[in-house]
Amino acid sequence: MAMQVHVQVEKVGGQGNSITIGVAPERRELYTTADDKLIKVWSLEDGKCKSCINAHKGRITCLVWLNHVRMMLSTSLDQTVALWNAKGECVVRSKFPCAIYCAGYSSRHDIVVLGGMKKMFVLQLLHQRDEWELNTQSVFEEHDEFISEIICTPSGRIFSCGYDGVVCAFDLNVEDKLVVMTAGGNRAKSKCHKGAITCAAYYNEGNSLITGSYDMSVKTWSYDALTAHAQFSPLYTIELKKTVETMCCIPATKSLWVGIKGSCRPFVFDPRTGTNLTDFLPQSEDFKSLHNEYPVKIMASASEVVTMSDHKNFTIWRYNSLACISIIHGHTDWVELVVRNPRTGDFVSSGADSIIRKWYIPNALYPQLYSMKEGPDTSILFTGGDDAMTLEGHTGKITAMCLLAHFLISVSVDKSVKIWDSNTGTLWRTIEDAHESMIYDVSSSERMDTFATCSADELCYIWELETCELCGVMKGHEDEVTRIRWIDELDAWLTASDDNSLRLWQASGHPYSLSESSIRSQSEHSAEEPIMMRFDTDGFSALEVIGELGLQAVGLSDYSVQLIDIIRESILCVYKGHYDVVRSIAFLPVFLLLPRGRRSEAGWE
């Protein structure tokens, strides 16, 4: 979820079940009401109450932040609407012929829209000579019950949702007047739920309206069908077991939070596909103290979410870009390795349970699966999904994997190499007894169409993919070879051994010397001597090639990570911060390095 609890405040209101919240991001303030006809103002930073406003004579039904004028609008059952400035002063109060249940503000058209009993009021906010006025422009009567939600979209489209289960869409006509949408003789008005609509939200990226109802369903409506034909056509329907109380689209995580009666934790869905993500998210300890409560209001700003429970306790959540966003279950023992296909986004995992699992990202074939990938405008680092394929065949612990073309190559302590067709999930070839001892690692070269394995027998073998025949041997280490990587920029293999040395090898398996490189080394060795670096360590726990920088990174036994230039045989940087063995290292263009350990993690620039 990447949302973490920032502040929790208990008992913010009086008796009764009516609860309303509003967020003023520019002021860093939260506004709440709870049956006592008061508006309480809270700090979003520390959750402390700043002031109380005696706002209305009747129950307050809605709070809306008007970002253009930086004021808060309140509506009430006393048939009035009030506008409040930063000092808590009422700058305008208007009376209407019926109770007002909800409101919305369209910053695109600078209008306020109110929902009452069967009526929707469109108001223009006027400011002249330090005086404010709410001027009624038009009134619509498209519902048979009171209007429960008003949604104003960034594009200027307005939706009204009612207790009659009807949704109606409005837009400006050529005369710049708000009217019910029409297309092909159809009016954009339809009974969308069997029960009353209790809540609604708008997913900006998908341009889709989402509604929740007493019929215990959540529906997402097609933007294209509405625009082209003025018809409400559901993209998907989520069936739940209890009444939908509230919902909100969370911009920071691009997810939909849904609060249902009796569940202390909001249900989290992918608003694009309707996939339930709740089981994949980290279980927060903060929910344990809320087991008798459930959220009745959820509201979000760019990086924060506020939830209010039926016990009138509110929680402020903040977005953490480096927090865990998903937990994927499937393996029954340690997960040691994860390899991602950069072309398709699919990834493969393996571990001590001797099983390789392939995970897909969502597509037309697997619409129920979910994934969040790293994008240019986000800080999300990992992908996830439900496992769609299991590859079984090894009899011992799987120690390493790599991809070559559409094949997945895995090695194991059972001394075998298995090559799988990742398109079909079937075993293509097996090299039995590829080494005399357990195999530690495998790496591939797409340019040479070969892959190499390293083993406890102190040797590294190079194999042709097509024939699975041995085409080269790297011999020279004096102890177990535990890591191997291909360096594209040098057309060379890099190996790490328990003899505390790193060695560079030609694509054929012969030792790599400076005469093979166009780079001049500062080393005192002659150009014909093999390139090798020795370290003060008890072996190497991780090895990675950073092609974008032309450098390499190694994890040592003292839990440090060293950035090196193997050609120049020099150590460039030493990173310390882990308190356990570093098992893998990944390069991120934004952050440079993100080494990850089994029980600790750290990132360095």
Q: Single out the residue of 232, 127, 139, 133 nearest to residue 178, CA to CA.
A: 139
What percentage of residues in the chain have a pLDDT greater than 70?
Answer: 85
Burial of 56 (0-12, 13-18, 19+ CB in 10 A): buried
356 and 468 belong to one structural domain:
yes
* Pairwise CA distance, residues 247 & 307, whole Å: 10
Whether 152 contacts 104, CB under 8 Å: yes
* Look-up of token digits 């009567």: 141
pLDDT in the model for residue 513: 84
* Look-up of token digits 């979003």: 44
* Look-up of token digits 């109110």: 114
**Token digits of residue 434:** 């590829």
Which of 265, 296, 327 is the last residue in one of the domains?
327
Which of 539, 563, 582 is the last residue in one of the domains?
539
pLDDT in the model for residue 201: 95
pLDDT in tens, 516-538: 655 544 445 555 678 899 999 98
Kindly state the helix (H) or strand (E) to which residue 63 belongs, with its residue range: strand 60-66
pLDDT in the model for residue 594: 42
Q: What are the residues whose beta carbons fall under 8 Å from the beta carbon of 176, sequence distance 6 or more? A: none
pLDDT in the model for residue 308: 87
Domain span at residue 173 reads: 16-242
Under-70 pLDDT residues of the chain? 1, 13-18, 35, 282-292, 324-326, 360-389, 515-528, 548, 589-605
Q: Residues 565, 570, 575, 581: is their CA dihedral positive or negative?
A: positive
Residue 343: DSSP 8-state: T
Q: Single out the residue of 21, 127, 146, 36 nearest to residue 72, CA to CA.
A: 21
Which of 303, 327, 351 is the last residue in one of the domains?
327
378 and 477 belong to one structural domain:
yes
Residue 237: DSSP 8-state: E
203 and 94 belong to one structural domain:
yes
266 and 414 belong to one structural domain:
no
* Pairwise CA distance, residues 422 & 407, whole Å: 5
417 and 499 belong to one structural domain:
yes
In one letter, which amino acid is 279?
D
In one letter, which amino acid is 571?
I
Number of residues that this document lists for the chain: 605
Q: What angle do CA 320, 23, 71 make, to 5 degrees?
A: 140
Whether 162 contacts 116, CB under 8 Å: no
pLDDT in tens, 165-174: 999 999 988 7
Instruction: Tell how many helices (H) and how many strands (E) occur in the chain.
Output: 1, 52
- Identify the three-state secondary structure at position 193: coil
Whether 387 contacts 370, CB under 8 Å: no
72 and 4 belong to one structural domain:
no
pLDDT in the model for residue 366: 41
461 and 600 belong to one structural domain:
no
217 and 253 belong to one structural domain:
no
pLDDT in tens, 591-603: 444 444 444 444 4
274 and 319 belong to one structural domain:
yes
Widest CA span in the chain: 95
pLDDT in the model for residue 231: 87
* Look-up of token digits 């997960």: 335
181 and 44 belong to one structural domain:
yes
Q: What is the DSSP string of 93-127?
A: EEE-SS-EEEEEEETTTTEEEEEEBS-EEEEEEEE
Q: What are the residues whose beta carbons fall under 8 Å from the beta carbon of 205, sequence distance 6 or more? A: 254
H, E, C per residue of 160-172: EEECCCEEEEEEE
* pTM for the whole structure: 0.58
* Pairwise CA distance, residues 563 & 547, whole Å: 13
160 and 211 belong to one structural domain:
yes
What's the total number of domains in the chain? 4
Whether 389 contacts 348, CB under 8 Å: no
pLDDT in the model for residue 563: 92
- Identify the three-state secondary structure at position 537: coil
509 and 432 belong to one structural domain:
yes
Q: Cα–Cα distances in Å, from 262 out to 210, 298, 381?
A: 21, 15, 33
The CATH number of whichever domain residue 223 belongs to comes to 2.130.10.10
